[in-house]
Amino acid sequence: MAGTCVVGLQWGDEAKGKIVDLIGDQFDFVVRYNGGANAGHTVVVDGKTFKLSLLPTGVIRPATTSVIGNGVVVYPPRFFEEVDSLARAGVDLSKRLFLSDHAHVIFPYHMEEERLAESSTEGKIGTTGRGIGPCYQDKVGRRFAIRVGELLRPDHLRERLAQIVPFKNRLCTAFADGNATPKVFEPTALADEYLGYAERIRPYVTDTSRLLHEAVKAGKRVLFEAAQGSLLDVDHGTYPYVTSSSSLPSGIWSGSGLPAKNVKRIIGVVKAYTSRVGRGPFPTELDDGIDGYGERIRKVGREYGTVTGRPRRTGWFDAMAVRYTAALSGADEITVMLLDVLSGLPELKLCVGYDLDGERRTHFTSDAYELERCKPIYETLPGWTEDITTARKLTDLPAAARRYVDRVGELVGLPVSVVSVGPGREQTIRV
Ligand code: GDP
Ligand code: IMO
Ligand code: MG
């Protein structure tokens, strides 16, 4: 069976959604295995824009079955919002969208915990505010977590919330410093609210691990869609400025129940430059003012977060970072996205080393405190002035653009299989 994974090799927003959509018709199943509605995947099909946070991007392809695996954290109102908005766009998901009974449920107190942590000086990570971190904390902590399957048992849910909510109220009150007044929650009202969601969610809920095992046995083709980027992986990313799940393909086994041996091809997605939302080190960041290249890339690439609308930080391509994530993810190839955004820049820089306290480093460090002190060492390539958004084959690209793509592949040490020159499906060069 052909299991494939699409994974971002930077700090997220590499345009994974576009690649999943592009190859989605070759698969029977598309599976999300990590994260939640902190992700934001924008896909443009025939001029129509789809924005997905929680549901796999694969839902847009009518012949695929989509799965939200056990490794995902789910806020039910968001789930319905996306299902409803797709229904309005003519996408019917009944009998082809499944949600794991083992996925964990996000409650409003998770968002409150996050709001309070983010408003304290020590705890600030620059998160999306979707309750992701606190929900995963509860999952690993075991005592206060609720899984999707538990929503379907009314007496049990009422009992659990009656125990958990008073504790959460005390926690939030203790957490709040002078500036932030904590919200308090009422167990019965919360149980009523979530039991309402339970009835609507029930038809989607199943043992998705078994579903996938049966699919594999029947020879079905499965595509795994990573949320976030590899540098946000909780173990191998730039900790603590990461998300709370395993975004690397290592998350597939635990987050879907399918053993890693089923994944035969790993596609690493990179932007032709780098972006990052939230806090944390970013050695190649172009923080060069309103007339600088950083702002220009932000404007042309529309680098504003899909989930929060925050301006994304932008900078040059960091080959050190991508070589590291390419190795960790086991990527077989890379796809170079948003190349068109670099058109018109007189010269382009690629980070090929770091200067750490006067010494040259030739490998990446994911230690945020060390990375903070790394100064990029660049190689400079000429830019191009032509509009490349209508290029459909490599030979349509100006020589300087081809050279740039070749050099990115060389530095990362992997073949480039796709070059993307615009958001549309058709704005794609298959190499
Ligand atoms: P994801 O989170 O990795 O799926 O990426 P996002 O959807 O958050 O961000 C990528 C953005 O770039 C989306 O708005 C896409 O529509 C857009 N996009 C994708 N490929 C290209 C491209 O080649 N050129 C340009 N200009 N935009 C692109
Ligand atoms: P996609 O799938 C970019 C970032 C947040 C923050 C950090 C932790 O669209 O690539 P969290 O809310 O997860 O606890 O925030 O991770 N982050 C993302 N950045 N793209 C994403 O998803 C992200 N998901 C989380 O900005 O820095
Ligand atoms: Mg995104």
Q: Which protein residue's CA is at the shortest distance from atom 19 of ligand 1?
A: 423
Give the Cβ contact number of residue 291 at 10 Å. Answer: 7
**Ligand 2 atom with least separation from CA of 40:** 9
Rounded to whole angstroms, the Cα distance separating 316 from 342 reads 10
The single-letter DSSP state of residue 386 is S
CA dist 111 and 116 (Å) reads 9
**If we measure between CA atoms, which residue out of 380, 369, 291, 302 comes closest to residue 338?**
302
How far, in Å, are 93, 123, 353, 355, 402 from residue 284 at the CA level? 42, 25, 11, 12, 22
Ligand 1 mean position, distance from CA 273 (Å): 12
The confidence score (pLDDT) of residue 178 equals: 67
pLDDT for position 179: 64
Distance CA 399, CA 382 (A): 10
Around ligand 1, the residues with Cβ closer than 6 Å are 8, 12-18, 40-42, 44, 301, 306, 337-338, 340-341, 420-423
Q: Answer yes or no: 41 catalytic.
A: yes
- Ligand 2 pocket, residue 12 CB under 6 Å: yes
pTM: predicted TM-score of the whole model, two decimal places: 0.97
Instruction: Supply φ then ψ for residue 399, to 5 degrees.
Output: -55, -40
Rounded to an integer, what distance in angstroms lies between the CA atom of residue 103 and that of residue 146? 9
d(CA 130, CA 79): 13
Residue ranges and CATH numbers for the domains of the chain are 3-100+205-267 (3.40.440.10), 104-201 (1.10.300.10), 270-430 (3.90.170.10)
By C-alpha distance, which of 220, 222, 223, 243 is closest to 233? 243
Residue 217 backbone phi and psi in degrees, to 5: -60, -35
Residue 304 amino acid letter? Y
Any ligand 2 atom below 6 A from CB of 237: no
**Contact 374 CB / ligand 2 (< 6 Å):** no
Q: What are 253-284's pLDDT values in tens digits?
A: 999 999 999 999 999 999 999 999 999 999 99
Neighbours of 200 (CB within 10 A): 12
Residue 423 CA to ligand 1 centre (angstroms): 6
Q: What is the pLDDT of residues 349-408, one digit of tens each?
A: 999 999 999 999 999 999 999 999 999 999 999 999 999 999 999 999 999 999 999 999
Please give all residues whose CB falls under 5 A of ion ligand 3, grouped by chain where several chains appear. Answer: 13, 40
CA neighbours closer than 13 Å in the CB half-sphere of residue 132: 26
| DSSP secondary structure of 40-82 | -EEEEETTEEEEESSS-GGGGSTT-EEEE-TT-EE-HHHHHHH
Contact present, 42 and 49 (Cβ < 8 Å): yes
What pLDDT is attached to residue 181?
A: 84
Which atom of ligand 2 is nearest the CA belonging to 13? Answer: 10
CB 242 within 8 A of CB 260: no
pLDDT in tens, the chain (431 residues): 479 999 999 999 999 999 999 999 999 999 999 999 999 999 999 889 999 999 999 999 999 999 999 999 999 999 999 999 999 999 999 899 999 999 999 999 999 999 999 988 777 999 999 999 999 999 999 999 999 999 999 999 999 999 999 999 999 998 886 667 889 999 999 999 999 999 999 999 999 999 999 999 999 999 999 999 999 999 999 999 999 999 999 999 999 999 999 999 999 999 999 999 999 999 999 988 888 999 999 999 999 988 888 899 999 999 999 999 999 999 999 999 999 999 999 999 999 999 999 999 999 999 999 999 999 999 999 999 999 999 999 999 999 999 999 999 999 999 999 999 999 999 999 99
CA 125 to chain CA mean position, Å: 16
List 21, 41, 110, 340, catalytic entry: 41
Size (the chain), residues? 431
- Would you state the pLDDT for residue 306? 82
Give the start-end residues of each E strand in 116-212. 205-206
